[in-house]
Each structure stands twice: as structure tokens, then as C-alpha cells.
Amino acid sequence: MSEKEKVIFSAVQPSGELTLGNYLGAIKNWRNLQDDYRCIFALADLHTITVRQDPKEFNHRILELYALFLACGIDPKKSIFFIQSQVHTHAELGWILQCYTQFGELSRMTQFKDKSKKHADNINAGLFCYPSLMAADILLYSADLVPVGADQKQHLELTRNIADRFNGIYGDTFVVPEPYIAKMGARVMSLQDPSKKMSKSDENANACVRMMDDANVIMKKFKRAVTDSNSEVKFRNEGTGIDNLIGIYSCVTGKTISAIEKEFEGKGYGDFKKAVGEAVVNELIPIQEKFKDYMNNTDYLVQCFKKSREEALKISEKKLSEVKEKIGFVL
């Protein structure tokens, strides 16, 4: 099978503001994959309601995020990009796959443990079972590859286990997906504490660059970024602040690490941090302008996600019918 024939599936929750880490770790990769693979993308709003949402805010945020993804380069003419709750097959297969997922498997999921601590007043069944829904998201489209960060590897492994289990009982039904891990930018760290992943919930405002930050704010955050006790712009592969900045610069500019080291030979961290900030500004400002244009034309957004909804339904209903028939449901 050629790369062009392989299916890539990926979904992101419409919760909170997107960060530079989200963009470089996932969205930019999505954009670049569209020319080489058959791409299917989703806003996973069914997953988001495991945490209580304000309905009006949630509705608006889904539209905003859809517009932002288009502004980042997701092209509905090249890819399917739908809103999960509009495609009923996800919830249906999600329930079926819960019945082929073991309680012990779900109880070992580290994200369930982490989120239970954060939302101790709302440890609901959806929070516990949502890896089965995530498996349904992937398996409905016979995805060959799934872009994953380090925090999602466990869920993809569970998806593979569920697919193998079902196939073992009923014969070949699901494609068992493989992880797709980008070479650079898969894990952007905090600008203030490079031992932690960049997070919008960080208490230190300088730790995180948001997609909608203006140019001045972005430049200030990079000027204040933590580096290390050395002064040379050299990649040390030790998880230092300078490693993080070199990774960001490489991801934004497309330059190799060796080319970056040569470019800044004899220059200090001040010059480098300024260059990184400027590169990020040049990347994000055009995206922000396109985002505003899309939000001023919501009719076009609706047209895009309705078209993708129909395409997603056509593919996923076929797979769901196959699953139901094999189980023995009356169709």
C-alpha cells in the first residue's frame, strides 16, 4: 500500500485555547500530512463532556476551533474534517466496544487517574470509559496510522488490543492501527520549566504561548524563556530550555538542528531567543488573520462541516453495519 492510500485519523477536543504546543505537536503535522495520506480529522466534542461545559461557551468554542483549524491549513477539499457529535456512528460503536474492553484495561489508564484527581467532584462513567470511544473513533475509518504524543500511546495500545480481540472472535473486521510520531515538535515544553509539557493551564503566564497571542506578547514570552547555564546555541538532547527553543525554531522554520547551530555560531542566547520569537510571530500572525476571516463567514464553516459529516457517515456506517452483522444484530 502506498502512503497516499494509507488512512490517517486524528481528533482533538474543543476544550480551552490552543497553544503553540498544540499547533507544532499536532495541527501543523495534520496540515503537512494531507498531501501524502488520506486524512480524516475530527473535533472530539463527545469526549469533552466528560468535564462539565457551559453550553453557550462550548458551542461557540467548537465553531472557533473549527475555524482555527481551517486557518492553520486543514483543507476540507483534501481531507474529511467533521464534528464528532454530528456523526452518530461514533457513540454507537463506542458502546459496542465497551463490551469488548476489560474493566482492568480501563482502570490502568493513567489519564483517567490524572483527570479523576483534577475533577474529584465529577468522576463519571464517561471519564472511565472514553478510551473505548476513542477506539471507535479510530476503528470506524480503518485508520492505518494515528498521530500520537507520548500521553496518548497508552490509549492507542488499548485500541489495538480491542481490535485484535474483536478480530480474534469474529474474524478480520478492524484494521489494527500503528502510531505515527512526528520527528520534531511532537512535544513542546514549557518556556519556564522545560521538564513540563507546554500547557494552557500553567499558572505562569510566560510558560505558554497561545495561538491568539499578539506579536508583542509572543516576543516577551520568548525573551523571558528559560535556557541553561551555558551560552552556546547547541542542542544537548538533555531536555534543557535551549533544546526546547531549538526544537521550536526547527519546527517553525524547517531548518535542521545542525543548520541552526551553524546559523547562531558565535551568537548568544539573547539573539537566538529573539529569532525564535520572530519566527513564531511570522508563523502565527497570518493564521490569526485567516481565523478572523473565517469567523466572519460562519456560513462557510457550516458548509464545510456538513459536507465532511456526510462523508464521515458514508464511511463509518458501512463499518458499523459490518460490526453489527458479525455480532448478530438484526439489520
Question: What is the chain's length?
Answer: 331
Q: What is the average pLDDT score of the chain?
A: 92
Q: Contact 197/190 with Cβ under 8 angstroms?
A: yes
Known catalytic residue at 200 = yes
Q: What percent of the chain has pLDDT over 90?
A: 73
Q: Tell me, rounded to whole angstroms, the distance of Cα 279 from its chain centroid.
A: 22
Cα separation, 41 vs 239, whole angstroms: 31
Q: What percent of the chain has pLDDT over 70?
A: 96
pLDDT (tens digit, 9 = 90+) per residue, 220-267?
999 999 998 888 999 988 889 999 999 999 999 999 999 999 999 989
Known catalytic residue at 115 = yes
User: Is pLDDT larger for residue 93 or for residue 127?
Assistant: 93
Q: Contact 142/76 with Cβ under 8 angstroms?
A: no
* The pLDDT of residue 183: 63
pLDDT (tens digit, 9 = 90+) per residue, 31-84?
889 999 999 999 999 999 988 999 999 999 999 999 999 999 999 999 999 999
* The pLDDT of residue 118: 73
Choosing from 28, 115, 273, 319, which is the catalytic residue? 115
For the chain, which domains are there?
A: 3-185+298-327 (3.40.50.620), 205-292 (1.10.240.10)
Known catalytic residue at 307 = no
| Those residues with Cβ within 8 angstroms of residue 47's Cβ, 6 or more apart along the chain or in another chain | 11, 13, 84, 130, 133, 134
**Which residues are 19's β-sheet partners?**
210
pLDDT (tens digit, 9 = 90+) per residue, 140-185?
999 999 988 666 788 899 999 999 999 999 999 999 999 987 665 5
Choosing from 113, 118, 196, 197, which is the catalytic residue? 197
